[in-house]
Structure 1
Amino acid sequence: MNPYWNSLTCLYQKGNQRVVAKTKPTYPITIDVITNLARGVDVFTSNTFLVTGETTALVDTGANFDVVSAVREQTDELDRVYLTHTHEDHVGNVEAVREAFGVETWGYDPDNPLVDRELADGETVEIGDDDYVAVHTPGHKDDHLCLYSRDARTLFAGDLVFANGSFGRTDLEEGHRPTLIDSIDRIRETVGEDLDAMHTGHGPSVEDRPFEDIEFAGNAARMG
């Protein structure tokens, strides 16, 4: 059990969905729901996270599966799509999501036709009920972003780092290991050691001391 959960009321955790009430001395209580819609999908896709709340959003659309139906099983409305980067496995469903929900996609490179609105380094946006800052983190791909909320203690890491100290590939076009190491260092310096959750582009989310996984990834990238 993550120590941070001691300060929260857990309504339930089932499968790929976690519901938490942030308990404070005053009301109302806000509810955050983060669901990995790609969990258990046996195709070439990234994870795709649906975050419901005041601003219901997708972080990456994934590829090669019916994400529109998956969204509609959870909510009737979608307000925004945020792209961590534009590798095909993260953006293959963009057109389907645009058509189904009439939403704009936000990403780092406004010249990319898959990006409707620029999301600049350091810009703050709302995801669910929390504010997240966009952090430009190239090295895996030039347009790579992470999204971090200090209040929610949550990081959407894209393909920068993964569970158990793994890190993003640098053998693809635009990949560059020294730049990736710099980006990992930047994220490590940005997030707090009290980081509660790290949602990654592939594999499981990390909810047990994810700051350590970021540190491990930086060390591993230097060694490899």
Structure 2
Amino acid sequence: MSISRDDLAKLIDHTLLKTDATRAQVSALVAEARELGTYSICVSPSMLPITDELGDVKVATVCGFPSGNHSAAIKAAEAREATANGADEVDMVINIGLLKEGRADAVEEEIRAVREATGGLLKVIIESAALTDDEIVAACRAAEAAGADYVKTSTGFHAAGGASVHAVELMARTVGGRLGIKASGGIRDFETAAAMVDAGATRFGLSGSRAVLDGATAEGDY
């Protein structure tokens, strides 16, 4: 398929989740998001509410980030507070240890707790690079059963790595068309992003959005 630079921009959550990020950097992120035409910004919950002029840019944040090892109640409380502070979307990290133990039902329960805590759009980060194919499928099914809107590959913080075309394809085969598929972690050029779109990605988490978008060809065909 073909995707243009502008169409890709509309799929991007322009992200700043560094532990040493400052409010000045968040303000710069907002300004850059507006310039680039990205769908949203994604920032840490401590940066909310956003006081800069957003225009059409949405606000996303995270909960249970980055380990996913918070209790379901804490994740739900984070999501609830973030929504009250203006977040349109919440990206939650699952407890992958539960998944490794074969307790997909417990993963579903924690996702449902966050779903009930926020009326906004909910994305579920499954840390796909750390999972087997069967575990990826189980995580996607748990997210769907719990009422999530998206499944997301990665935090970008896990030692196992970030997004892969294979993981995106598997996630799309499992829940695509019913849930969105967000690719995040290690996507640094336009060609890789376009390949992820071909695989089924419908949203991206990028910290280097400008560099990715600047790599588009004049034709925008990949």
The TM-score, its normalising length taken from structure 1, stands at: 0.33
Structure with bigger strand share is 1
**Bigger RCO of structures 1 and 2 (CA < 8 A, at least 6 apart):** 2
The TM-score, its normalising length taken from structure 2, stands at: 0.33
Structure with bigger helix share is 2
